[in-house]
Amino acid sequence: MTASTITAPGRADHARDLGAAYARVAHAAARATRAQPAALAHTGIHYLIVAVAISSLWTRAASGHGGTIVGYRADALVWYLAATEVTAIAPPLRLIDRLGADVATGRFELELLRPAPAVWIRVAAELGTAMPRTAVCTALGAGLALGVGGAPASLAALALAGPALLFGVALTVVAQHLLAAASFWLRDSRASWFLYQKLQFTLGGLVLPLEVLPGGMGRVARFTPFAAMSYAPGRLASGHLEPGWLLAQIGWLAVLGLVTARVFAAGERHLGGGEP
């Protein structure tokens, strides 16, 4: 039976099978990550180094300004940075580089032989890898924020920061796949990795709340997917009860997912010598 002749119940079965396959891949990747406690500890220590350094800077800056800066109290800034840094450090590092190299060397083409879309298998695997890392970084971040910043300003907002972190990490993984797709045409995605990192750094509010950005830059940044990745969990963790950020994250996940699927489909056709 060809794809065009699959009936509605058949399509539902197919989707269910694919979903189960992605879940199995993610689960296996998560198990593999958990089986390497030294590597997890490495990620956790790296996270702590970065989080301690950047939160020290902002808390000293806030205490020099009467305890508040750009509307954030010193303790809220620690919660903000503890959350934003999770979205940068928990996802597997240099994912764009690796995927780009696999496309350039032809390894990715072999994955096209599988009966499931190669890009989503990869996304599932990376998400599975990211989950234990996210758990470790989040636990350490919460410990740091409680120890240095104190109790969270709003428990309700903090509760929303949990799913926001997961959505943020998922957005990061999907966005990196999208940018890595450049290697279908350029055969070298290192510049994409670099571009992505800097966009997350500035427009994502990774090390500075968007309110600090000059002029209209901060306002524009709020409407980018980078703000949904990092600023959203940071904003919620710092005590701002703004559930709209979760909707923004889901929306961006849908948009980026759709665009990624389209771009990979075009890239795969390009690899096969067809259009475009």
Partner 1 sequence: MRTQRRRRAIVAALRGLGAVWRTAWAEALANRRSFVVQMTVMMVNDLVWIFFWQVFFRRVGSVRGWTVDDMMVLYAILALAAGLVLGALANLRWLGPLVANGDLDSALALPVDPLGFLALRQVSPVNVGDLVFGIGLFLWLGHPTPARLALLAVATAASVAVLAGFLALLGSLAFLPGTAGAGELGLSAVIVFSSYPTDLFGGALRLALFAVVPAALVGSLPAELVQHPSPAGLAGLAGGAAAFAGAGWLSFRLGLRRYTSGAAWTAL
52 lines the binding site for partner 1 (CB under 8 A): yes
d(CA 180, CA 99): 6
Nearest residue (CB) to partner 1, 69 versus 157: 69
**Residue 239 φ/ψ region, left for φ over 0, alpha for ψ in the -120 to 50 degree band, beta for the rest:** left
Q: Could you tell me the smallest distance in angstroms from the CB atom of residue 155 to partner 1?
A: 29
Nearest residue (CB) to partner 1, 158 versus 208: 208
d(CA 261, CA 228): 20
Nearest residue (CB) to partner 1, 93 versus 259: 93
**3-state DSSP assignment of residue 66:** coil
Query: Which residues in 214-233 contact partner 1 (CB under 8 A)?
Result: 214
Burial class (CB in 10 A: 0-12, 13-18, 19+), 171: buried
Nearest residue (CB) to partner 1, 39 versus 250: 39
The residue from 69, 119, 180, 246 that contacts partner 1 (CB under 8 A) is: 69
- Interface mask toward partner 1 for 30-49; x: CB under 8 A: --------xx--x--xx--x
d(CA 19, CA 85): 30
**3-state DSSP assignment of residue 68:** strand
Q: Could you tell me the smallest distance in angstroms from the CB atom of residue 61 to partner 1?
A: 4
Q: Could you tell me the smallest distance in angstroms from the CB atom of residue 54 to partner 1?
A: 8
Contacts of 185 (CB under 8 A, 6+ apart): 267, 270
If binding means CB under 8 A, how many residues of this protein chain bind partner 1?
A: 29
Nearest residue (CB) to partner 1, 148 versus 263: 148
Tokens 């072999």 — which residue? 110
- Interface mask toward partner 1 for 176-195; x: CB under 8 A: --------------xx--x-
Number of H helices, E strands in the chain: 13, 2
In 3D space, the residue among 168, 222, 175, 170 whose CA is nearest the CA of residue 197 turns out to be 175
Q: Which residues bind partner 1 (CB under 8 A)?
A: 38-39, 42, 45-46, 49-50, 52-53, 56-57, 60-61, 64-65, 69-70, 190-191, 194, 197-198, 201-202, 207-208, 212-214
